[in-house]
Amino acid sequence: MDYNDFLNKYIPSVDTKVAIRETEHVFSDSDKATIIWNSELLWRERLDDIKEIAKHTDNEILRTEIWERIAYEQDVLNRFIANDGGYIYSLKSHEEESEENVIGYFVSFKLAYEEGCRLDQPFRITKHRMITEVSYRKNDIVASTPFYEPEAPDIKRDLNWSGHGAAYIEYDKAGNIRNCSSNEIPEEQEKRVNSWDNRRFENKYVVFPEVFHGHEKVRIIQDAFENEEIIGWISREYRSHEEYIKIATSEDSRCDYSDVQYRVDVWDDEYLVWDHMHINPIYLKRVPEKELCNSFDKEPGRHVIVGHDMGAALWFQVVDVKESDKIMFDDVTRIGMEISMQESFFDEVLRPIFVEAFDAEMPINKNRFTYGLREEGQYLTCFEERILEYNFFTYDQMRAILDRIDELVRDGAQRIERAIEGTDAIQLVTLTSHVRHIMEEYPEYNVISVLS
């Protein structure tokens, strides 16, 4: 396939494709083989495409590795199907992974596969050794893993214990193989195609152009999450893209294909905690700012989001303020992730707390100057709303505010215009967690702005 066909087939992210084309980035045959092999396409399709690379590449080492991989995968399949009577096959719906949800046990692969195809959903078949007095004493199957460090002694584990899967194959609902894994392959053959070796095509580091930046809002478009929309934020960058590539491609680097991934911070609405995922840029899509405009109207009950809602909202963000006797809008540099809160909710629930805590005599607040109110300009003297001007709080001041909000949530307070309960309480916990998160991300700064 030509280069554009490769990009369209194996790089589902529009943003990543744009970056590749704009920078005229070219993947080598080895790079393409790595991307193909680690993609979410079907097993047979991936094998066919790397086979085409092997047929046409000038890279003899790559050609050898690909033919080794193809032979290995075929051996995995042949051994999986073969049964000398000492194995059984379990069948599970791919959506039900626990041991309690086994659909059935079968004496042959053929019966398990036929039943799986009737499910009309993805499924997994696992091959198990049946434990007998004879097989329990035998030690003829071992897994030598990992092979990450070629010089380190192999770690072997005996598989002759009840319930351990000797191998498994995952299928889509049409019965096509998605992935497979086996502990039936002889040790020497397993070593030959060591999947942990970052020098082989299966797991080597691949250079991508820079696509996303710290705290951009992104949508995960990986097939593994096709039934749920996951939106997150690119985690803070602690080194430049160029510096990272230099480290990853150095001669003694231990980086592999997983190190291509971006860390994506994700807010868990169910447990009200921050988590993170590591996602390859080919499975990330930038969330345009226009999607966030008036987002609170689109989702009643939600009063806090990460990102800049251009509608009726207040925005919380770490800032760096340039010292001046007249601090104006251009003297403020916004840093990192931005939190938006619905303006009406802020007015009803939180405004008195912020007004009371606001220190109008703090120099950076006292020196705020605007031409937005009168032609000759004027200094701002209080907590301002609806005029697009900054209100500054030190980290300590903000932490005290957040502690007070947490107390209101715990007390279910009636001291404001409406009780803090249910959805309101969840949204306030979300706000305090988000603001604490951005302060923790940037400990070298000390000011939070509240802008409306």
Q: Which domains does the chain have, with CATH numbers?
A: 1-26+209-287 (2.30.30), 28-192 (no CATH), 290-452 (no CATH)
Residues, the chain = 452
pLDDT tens, 83-135? Answer: 988 899 999 987 655 556 789 999 999 999 999 999 999 999 999 988 776 55
Indicate whether this model's pTM tops 0.85.
Answer: no
Residue 178 has, within 13 A of its CA and on its CB side, a CA count of: 15
Q: Which residue has the tokens 């803070």?
A: 236
User: In the predicted model, is pLDDT for residue 412 greater than 60?
Assistant: yes
Pairing of strands 102-106, 87-93: antiparallel
The torsion angles phi and psi of 367, rounded to 5 degrees, stand at -95, 5
Query: What is the C-alpha separation between 387 and 382, in angstroms, rounded?
Result: 12
For residues 338 and 434, what is the distance between their CA atoms, to the nearest angstrom? 9
| Higher-confidence position of 421 and 201 | 201
Q: What whole-number percentage of the chain has pLDDT above 70?
A: 88
Q: How confident is the model at residue 265 (pLDDT cuts 50, 70, 90)?
A: very high
Mean pLDDT, rounded, for 229-234:
88
DSSP letters along 86-134, please? Answer: SEEEEEEETT--SGGGEEEEESSHHHHHHHHHTSSS-EEEEEEEPP-HH
Q: Which has the closest alpha carbon to 385: 361, 411, 352?
A: 352
Rounded to whole angstroms, the Cα distance separating 284 from 259 reads 15
Residues 6+ apart with CB under 8 A from 278: 258, 261, 262, 263, 264
pLDDT at residue 147 above 50?
Answer: no
Task: Determine which helix (DSSP H) or strand (DSSP E) holds 406, and give its type and residue range.
Answer: helix 395-411
The arithmetic mean of pLDDT across residues 301-313, rounded, is 87
pLDDT value of residue 98? 55
Distance CA 170, CA 181 (A): 9
Label residue 416 by pLDDT band (50, 70, 90).
very low
Q: Which contacts qualify for 286-294: CB closer than 8 Å, 24 or more apart?
A: 286/15, 286/212, 286/216, 286/217, 286/218, 286/219, 287/217, 287/218, 287/219, 287/231, 292/217, 292/340
CA–CA separation, 171 and 43 (whole Å): 9
pLDDT at 372: 80
Given a cut of 90, is residue 227 above it in pLDDT?
Answer: no
Least confident residue range of 106-120, 222-236, 343-357 = 222-236
pLDDT at 68 > cutoff 80:
yes
Instruction: Tell me the mean pLDDT in the region 252-270.
Output: 93
CA 397, chain centre distance (Å)? 33
